[in-house]
Structure 1
Amino acid sequence: MRSRHRAGVILAALTAVEHDADSRGWDASPALLGLFDATTDHHEPRFEIDELAVDPAFWWLHAQTVPGMRLPYWIGLKTLTAHLTADDAQPRLARWAHAGQRRLVGLAFLAEGLDTSDAGRRAAATHGLPDDPDGVPVRAVTACDNDGRHYQILRLRSAATTTTTVVLDDPPARVRATVIPACLHRLLTAARA
């Protein structure tokens, strides 16, 4: 699959992932997803999404609630990234990334959390959702591909549609340096090694 077509295919696949997650309801564990070009015939492009099996213990921090404090899933992703890029775990990541007749072209992270930004609050108000001091419940699908593109799809809890879809062909350094994209890029680099 050519690079110029890949962005549209990836965005469509990520949208399908979010719609599927929405149909299953909320309060799901996060997922680390591989985006694969499985094309073997140039006339029939094939794209696959495969979830990397992750020990639920990487997400346990989020389940531990202390009154007034809930740890975000990106902490678990950061821990998982450190684990998967360690020398002894890299072969497992590489085996998953290179299984079968497919080529890893990107990674995505699907998780729910609380958006405490002003933009999140404005989006909630637009959808008629109550203002919560802890933040707005949101599901995010964040992805990075081999071409350096950054993708994000957001859905506010109780919203009928996704609220934000972003595709950045050349994301600024401040976007690339945020935890989830930085972890995804680090994992992509390790998987290709």
Structure 2
Amino acid sequence: MRSRHRAAAIVAALTAVDHAANAQGWDALPVLLGLFDTTIHRHQPRINADELGIDPALWWLHSQTVPGMRLPYWVGLKAITAHLTAPDTPPWLTRRAPFGHRRLAGLAFLAEGLDTSETGRRDAAAHGLSANPDGTPVRALTACDIDGRHYQILRIRGSATTTTVVLDDPPALVRATVIPTCLRRLLTAARD
């Protein structure tokens, strides 16, 4: 599949994941997804997004800390990444029989959280939502593909619309953030 067609197919797959998450409602645990190229005909590119089996207990790390203190879900993603990319760990994706011989095209991380930035509060207000100082509930679907692209779909709780960003050549500030860094490390480990 050619690169620009792959990007469009990944956006379509991520949009479907966001719609499914929105239909299920809020307060869900995070999901780590593999984006697999299942293209049969080169003029009809297709990417499937399949959940990778992560123990749900890992996402509840915040309940094992000081009461009232919640760790963000990316802490769990960092722990998964450290474990799966350790030198003594066998290739992790090849051990997953349900995925067979499909080609890995990217990885995605879907998680809910609070956007406490000024931009997040302005976005909430623009959608007619109260911009409370503790943060705006946001669902973020972040992905990286084998071509180095960065994808993000953001949905503010209560909004019918999303914001989608695709960066063909993400700037250093984006590449250095925790979730894209983890996804890239996992992609590299899966391809080795």
Q: Please say if residues 34 and 97 of structure 1, whose CA atoms lie closer than 8 Å, have aligned partners that are also in contact.
A: no
Give the structure 2 partner of residue 165 of structure 1.
164
Q: Secondary structure at the match of 1:91?
A: coil
- Output the CA distance in 2 between the equivalents of 1:139 and 1:94: 30
Change (3 A) 1:17 1:54: same
Segments of 5+ residues of structure 2 without an aligned counterpart are none
Equivalent residues in 2 for 1:148-187, closer than 5 Å: 148-162=148-162, 164-187=163-186
Tell me, yes or no, if structure 1 residue 23 matches structure 2 residue 14.
Answer: no
Contact in 1 for aligned 2:109/2:143 (Cα 8 Å): yes
Letter paired with 2:2: R
Quick check: 2:91–2:189 contact (8 Å CA) kept in 1?
no
Between the aligned partners of 2:168 and 2:59, the Cα distance in structure 1 is 30
Q: 1:175 to 1:86 in 2, by over 3 A?
A: same
Between the two proteins, the alignment pairs up a number of residues equal to 191
Residue 48 of structure 1 corresponds to: 48
Deviations 1:87-116 (A, max 9, x none): 343433333399423110100000000111
Query: Partners of 1:44 and 1:15 in 2: how far apart?
Result: 17
Q: Deviations over 1:123-177 (max 9, x none)?
A: 1111121122221100000000011100000001111111x21100000111001
TM-score with structure 2 setting the length: 0.92
Query: SS at the partner of 1:12?
Result: helix
Gaps of 5+ in 1: none
Counterpart residue type for residue 156 of structure 1: I
Q: Give the percent of matched residue pairs that are identical in Structure 1 and Structure 2.
A: 71
Q: Distance in 1 between matches of 2:148 and 2:10?
A: 13
> Following superposition of structure 1 onto structure 2, how do residues 14-163 of structure 1 map, counting pairs within 5 Å?
14-42=14-42, 44-64=44-64, 66-67=67-68, 69-96=69-96, 99-162=99-162
Tell me the distance in 2 between the aligned counterparts of 1:111 and 1:124. 18
